[in-house]
Amino acid sequence: MRDLSKHSLANLLEKVYKIRVLILLFLFVLAMKENSLHPFPLWSEAIRILEGRNYVITEGVRHLVLLFPIGIYAGSLAMRLSASVTLGSKTVWSSAPQGNRLVREGLFSCVRHPLYTGSAGMILSLSLMSSPEGAAILAGGGIPFLVFLARHEEGLFLDRIPEYAEYKKSVPPFIPSIGSGCHFLAALMGPLRSGSARGLRSEAFNVALLGGFLSFWATPNLPLFWVAFALFLGLALSAPFWIPERGKEPS
């Protein structure tokens, strides 16, 4: 009976993992719906609390404050781009955890889950630009879900890859340890130099969101947001045609 329960739980976790992108997309859509009902974003609410409800947020203040979450988003996207190049898009977007060998190249030499670290940073950025209600959905639902995905993958890797246990002891899960010998910038930029086109194509949707946010930073116009989104999406998907390829995609 206990074995049957474990088997049923394993099947359930496998099914949840397969639809992980849909679950995260559902949280995003739900948060955007809340944002449409509550127009004041979290960052503006924080300023109003600190400065008083009568404080007027000018365009200059808006431009200055929004640089922070957009910067977080861009840095987090760079992590996902780099890790996507290292693993290959087929592995990143596979319906089940892939690989029977230990990957320690690129950012995987610094953290065990650079993809999920990047995703968490993007969720944090989106939360800051969302309403308090939308932020609660994104951060409260998205970040714990990413932790679940990371633990699910690790359980499988521990069974498949004998040396993963030692790797788990020596490399932190999400944030590089100070003094660990990790050269983070080199680990980040190395894969991007060799395969930026593949990374852009793999992360096309996230790249498109960055384009939309940059447009929204310039002027809070929703139609322009979607125009920029479509433009960046097209550029990302077509990147292999206009960026020289320097390395092969991992199999």
Radius of gyration of the chain from its Cα atoms, rounded to whole angstroms? 20
Residue 243 sits at the vertex; the CA angle it makes with 239 and 248, to the nearest 5 degrees, is 90
Domain membership flag for residue 206: no
Q: What is the pLDDT of residue 91?
A: 85
- Find the domain containing 85 and state its range: 2-194
pLDDT digits (tens, 9 = 90+) for 43-89: 888 888 888 877 888 899 899 999 999 999 999 999 999 999 999 88
Query: For the chain, what percent of residues have pLDDT higher than 90?
Result: 65
Domain membership flag for residue 62: yes
Q: What is the pLDDT of residue 51?
A: 82
Domain membership flag for residue 215: no
Please count the structural domains in the chain: 1
What residues contact residue 36 under an 8 Å CB cut-off, 6+ apart? none
Handedness of CA 147, 208, 185, 100 (dihedral sign): positive
Domain membership flag for residue 235: no
Domain membership flag for residue 87: yes
Residues of the chain with pLDDT under 50: none
Least Cα distance to 211 among 23, 73, 81 occurs for 73
C-alpha distance from residue 35 to each of 46, 126, 132, 168 (Å): 16, 11, 8, 39
Q: What is the pLDDT of residue 83?
A: 95
Domain membership flag for residue 238: no
Residue 109: give its domain's CATH number: 1.20.120
Q: What is the pLDDT of residue 1?
A: 53
Domain membership flag for residue 46: yes
Q: What is the pLDDT of residue 54?
A: 78
Domain membership flag for residue 245: no
Q: What is the pLDDT of residue 178?
A: 67
Residue 28 sits at the vertex; the CA angle it makes with 123 and 236, to the nearest 5 degrees, is 75
